[in-house]
Amino acid sequence: MLNSSSPDAEGSALARIVLPAFGALSLLAVWQFLLPWLGVPKFIVPTPAQVVLRIAADPYLLWQNLLPTLIESVCGLFIGNIAAILLAIAFVYSKTVERAYFPVVLFLNTIPVLAIAPIIILIFGIGIFPKIIIASIICFFPTLVNMTRGLDAVSANERELMHVLSASPLEIFWKLRAPRSLPFLFASLRISSTACVVGAIVGEWIGANKGLGALIIQSTFNYRSDLLYAAIILSSSLAVVIFIIVTTIERRVIRYQ
Amino acid sequence: MTTGLPPSPEVVSTTDLKPLAIRARGLDVGYPAKGGVNVVLTGLDLEVREGEFLTIIGPSGCGKSTLLRVVADLLSPAAGSLEVFGDTPAAARRRRDIGFVFQDSTLLPWRTVMENLRLPDEVGRKARAGRPAAEGPDAAELLRMIGLAGRENAYPHQLSGGQRQRVAIARALLSRPRILLMDEPFGALDEITRDRLNDELLGLWQSMRMTILFVTHSVMEAAYLGDRVAILASNPGRLRELEDIRAAKAAAAGPIREDPGFVRSMAHLRAVLRTC
C-alpha cells in the first residue's frame, strides 16, 4: 500500500498538475451540464461558460472594480503586518507591555470583523482608507501572536554565544532574533495573504461604490448572477496570486529548511 | 646515556613557567532558587597556566559547566574571585580572549558554514574597539585545517554532527581567543568520530597554543586530552583532585590510548571519580 502510492506522492507531474486539473475540470463539466438539465434558471446559478463569457464581455468593468480591492488588500497586508511586528517587538522586549496590552488585543480580536467594519466606515467614511484599515485589522492578530513567539524562539546557547561575542542588543536583534522569527512570520503571512482580501471585500460590502465587494452586492441585488460569479472568481484569484507571491518570497528567503 | 642533552620537553613542561591564564580563589557560585540560593560550586581554588590543556570531569551537578560559565562571564561568582589574565572575566570577554564551544554546535541554521564563521566578525564591534586584529589562520585556512574546505556554502543541516562541531570550533578559534572553553563538545558524537576529533583538537591546540578548559563525561577523553585532569565532586560542587598526567602520556611507547601506564592513570581517575 505505502510503497505503491509513494512514487505518485513524491511529486511526479501526474500527481502535481494533471490530477488536480482533472479534478477541477470534471467538477466544472458536471456544473456546466447538470444545471440546465435540472432546470436551474441562469439568474440563480449561471453555468461556467456564462461566467467566462461575462468576464470576456466586460473586462474593463471587472478591472475597474478589481483595482481598488487589490490596493486595499495589499496596503492592508503591509500595514497590518508591520504594526503587528512592531508590537511584537515591544512585547518581546518588555513583558510589562505584553502583560498590559495582550489581553486587550485578544479581546479586540474576538470582535467579528463584520461588527468592526461598520464602526470603521462610520469613522472614516466611504473610500479606500477605511477598507485598508479593515484589511490590516484582519492581518494583525496572527502575525502578532506568531512574531511574539518567533522573536523569542532563541535557545539558551544561542543567547550565551552572543554574550561571549559581546554582541550589542541591536546586533542580537538583527543577527539572531529577527532571522529566527522569519519562519514564524511567513507562517502568518500565508494566513494574512488570503485574509486581507476578505477584509477588503467585507469593508466594501458595508459601504463602497467601487471594488469587488461592492460589485458582489450590486450584482446580487440585480440578479446578475454571471457578474456575481465573475466577481467571486476574481477575488479568489486575487487572494491566490498574493498567496503565491508570499510563498515564492518565502522559498527565496528561507533556504535552510 | 642522555647526559648533556636538555631534559625532554614532555617531562619538564614549559607551561609551568608561563603566566597565569586563570586564577580562582575561594570561588563560590550559586543560582537563586526557591527559599535561598542553590550552591553549585564552593571554595574552588584553581590556577591554570597559559597554554595548558585542562580537562574537567565529575558527576552530574558538580559544577563543571558552571565553572566554564564563570570564566566566560555568563555567570557571576557569589563569593571569592576569578581572574582571567589578571582581569575580570567581563574585561577578558570584551577583549575576545574567550572562545566558547557548546555541546550542540549552536551554528545558526540560516547561515552557511562561511557565514557562520563570519558571525564573530560581525558582532561585538563596539566592545572590541581598539583591540589589535587577531593574527592567525583565516577562515579559509581554518576550514582546510578541519577538513571542510569546499563546504563553505553548505548549510548546517547538510553537515554531519562531527562536521558541525568542527565548524563550531573553527568559529571559536577564528578570533584567536587565548582561552578556549569547551562544554562537552563531543558528548553527542559516536566514539569513532569523537576519537578522531580528539586528535584533531590536539593538533589545533599544538599549532595554535591556546589555553583550553574542556568539560567531559568521558574518563578516556579527559585523560587523553588533558595536561591535567580536574576532578570535581558534587553536592556541593567542589574540586576533589588535580591529576597531572603528562608524565604517563610522555612515557607511552605505542598508541597512548592502549598504553598500560595510561590505562593505569585512567583506572586511578575512575577510582577517584567513584568517591565523588
As given in the structure block, the three cell numbers for residue B90 are 567581563
How many angstroms separate the CA atoms of A70 and A73, rounded?
5
- Residue B11 maps to a domain: no
**What pairing do the DSSP bridges indicate for beta strands B228-233 and B211-215?**
unpaired
Contact (CB<8Å) B122/A161: no
Contact (CB<8Å) B124/A166: yes
Q: Are B66 and B151 members of one domain?
A: no
Name the percent of chain B in helix, strand, coil, to the closest 5.
40, 25, 40
- The dihedral over CA atoms of A153, A156, A158, A161, expressed in degrees to the nearest 10, equals 160
Looking at residue B16, what is its pLDDT? Answer: 60
Residue B128 confidence (pLDDT) above 80: no
Contact (CB<8Å) B106/A175: no
CA-nearest residue to A168 within chain B is B124
CA-based angle A140:A146:A147, to the nearest 5? 85
Please count the structural domains in chain B: 2
> Within an 8 Å CB–CB cutoff, is residue B73 touching chain A?
yes
**Three-state secondary-structure class, residue A253:** helix
The model's pTM: 0.84
Looking at residue A87, what is its pLDDT? Answer: 96
Q: CB within 8 A of A68, min separation 6: which ones?
A: A128, A131, A204, A208, A210, A211
Contact (CB<8Å) B128/A166: yes
Q: Are B112 and B236 members of one domain?
A: no
Give the domain A46-255 fold: MetI-like fold (1.10.3720)
- Residue B227 maps to a domain: yes
Contact (CB<8Å) B110/A182: yes
Contacts of A157 in chain B (CB under 8 A): 102, 104, 106
Domain spans, chain A: 1-40, 46-255
Which residue in B232, B249, B268, B230 sits closest to B48, CA to CA?
A: B230
Contact (CB<8Å) B108/A179: yes
Interface probe with A: pick from B106, B111, B183, B213, most Cβ of A within 10 Å: B106
How many angstroms separate the CA atoms of B223 and B229, rounded?
7
What average pLDDT does range A25-48 have in this prediction? 88
- Residue B15 maps to a domain: no
How many angstroms separate the CA atoms of B87 and A27, rounded?
77
CA-based angle B252:B258:B264, to the nearest 5? 75
Sign of CA dihedral A43, A44, A49, A51: positive
Contact (CB<8Å) B96/A166: yes
Q: Are B157 and B37 members of one domain?
A: no
As given in the structure block, the three cell numbers for residue A223 are 440578479
Interface probe with A: pick from B110, B180, B182, most Cβ of A within 10 Å: B110
CATH of residue B58's domain is 3.40.50.300
What average pLDDT does range B156-170 have in this prediction? 94
Q: Are B114 and B226 members of one domain?
A: no
- For A38-64, the pLDDT digits (tens) are 888 888 889 899 999 999 998 999 999
| Whole-number Cα distances in Å, B183 to A208, B68, B102 | 64, 7, 5
**Three-state secondary-structure class, residue A141:** helix
How many angstroms separate the CA atoms of A87 and A85, rounded?
5
Contact (CB<8Å) A165/B120: yes
- For B199-223, the pLDDT digits (tens) are 999 999 998 889 999 999 999 999 9
Residue B71 confidence (pLDDT) above 80: yes
| Whole-number Cα distances in Å, A233 to A222, B18, B91 | 18, 79, 65
Residue B6's pLDDT band (cuts 50, 70, 90): very low
Which residue in B211, B170, B159, B169 sits closest to B55, CA to CA?
A: B211
How many angstroms separate the CA atoms of B115 and B107, rounded?
10
Q: Are B228 and B151 members of one domain?
A: no
> Within an 8 Å CB–CB cutoff, is residue B100 touching chain A?
yes
Domain boundary among B120, B150, B175: B175
Q: Are B225 and B189 members of one domain?
A: yes
Looking at residue A36, what is its pLDDT? Answer: 84
> CB contacts < 8 Å between A and B, how many?
68
> Within an 8 Å CB–CB cutoff, is residue B109 touching chain A?
yes
Contact (CB<8Å) A171/B102: no
Contact (CB<8Å) B124/A182: no
Interface probe with B: pick from A160, A161, A251, most Cβ of B within 10 Å: A161
- Residue B1 maps to a domain: no
Q: Are B84 and B144 members of one domain?
A: no
Question: What's the one-letter identity of residue B29?
Answer: V
Across B27-41, B181-195, B200-214, B227-241, least confident range? B27-41
**DSSP structural state of residue B258:** G
Say if CB B124 and CB A165 are below 8 A apart.
Answer: yes
Which residue in B144, B81, B82 sits closest to B114, CA to CA?
A: B144
Q: Are B201 and B248 members of one domain?
A: yes
Say if CB B30 and CB B38 are below 8 A apart.
Answer: yes
Complex ipTM > 0.95: no
Residue B7 confidence (pLDDT) above 60: no
Q: Which residue has the higher pLDDT, A208 or B101?
A: B101
Looking at residue B17, what is its pLDDT? Answer: 74
Q: CB within 8 A of A176, min separation 6: which ones?
A: A154, A158, A159, A162, A167, B108
CA-nearest residue to A155 within chain B is B106
Partner-chain residue, chosen from B72, B106, B157, that has the shortest CB–CB distance to A158: B106
Q: Are B170 and B181 members of one domain?
A: no
Looking at residue B15, what is its pLDDT? Answer: 52
Looking at residue B3, what is its pLDDT? Answer: 44
Q: Are B184 and B90 members of one domain?
A: yes
How many angstroms separate the CA atoms of B101 and B174, rounded?
12
Say if CB A86 and CB A69 are below 8 A apart.
Answer: no
Through-space distance between the first and last CA atoms of chain B, rounded to whole angstroms = 43
Contact (CB<8Å) A175/B122: yes
Contact (CB<8Å) A157/B104: yes
Q: Are B83 and B194 members of one domain?
A: yes
How much is the CA Rg of chain B, to the nearest whole Å?
A: 19
Residue A172 confidence (pLDDT) above 70: yes
Interface probe with B: pick from A164, A181, A185, A250, most Cβ of B within 10 Å: A164
CA-nearest residue to A171 within chain B is B123
Contacts of A165 in chain B (CB under 8 A): 96, 119-120, 123-124
- The dihedral over CA atoms of A101, A104, A109, A115, expressed in degrees to the nearest 10, equals -140
Averaged confidence pLDDT in chain B = 88
Contacts of B119 in chain A (CB under 8 A): 165, 175
- For A75-112, the pLDDT digits (tens) are 999 999 999 999 999 999 999 999 999 999 999 999 99
Looking at residue B9, what is its pLDDT? Answer: 45
Chain B: nearest CA to A95, how far in angstroms?
21
**DSSP structural state of residue B237:** B
Contacts of B74 in chain A (CB under 8 A): 160, 163-164
Q: Are B122 and B245 members of one domain?
A: no
Which residue in A234, A194, A196 sits closest to A214, CA to CA?
A: A234
Structural domain span for residue B165: 106-128+136-175
Looking at residue B130, what is its pLDDT? Answer: 64
Looking at residue B249, what is its pLDDT? Answer: 87
Contacts of A255 in chain B (CB under 8 A): 110, 155
Looking at residue A4, what is its pLDDT? Answer: 46
- For B30-52, the pLDDT digits (tens) are 887 777 778 889 999 999 999 99
How many angstroms separate the CA atoms of A15 and A78, rounded?
35
Contact (CB<8Å) A168/B99: no
Say if CB B266 and CB B219 are below 8 A apart.
Answer: yes
Residues 179-238 of B with CB under 8 A from A: none
Looking at residue B175, what is its pLDDT? Answer: 81
Q: Which residue has the higher pLDDT, B175 or B64?
A: B64
Averaged confidence pLDDT in chain A = 91
Residue A1's pLDDT band (cuts 50, 70, 90): very low
CA-nearest residue to B115 within chain A is A175
How many angstroms separate the CA atoms of B182 and B200, rounded?
14
As given in the structure block, the three cell numbers for residue A172 are 542580537
Q: What is the DSSP string of B115-148?
A: HHHHHHHHS-HHHHTTPPPPPS--HHHHHHHTT-
CA-nearest residue to A256 within chain B is B110
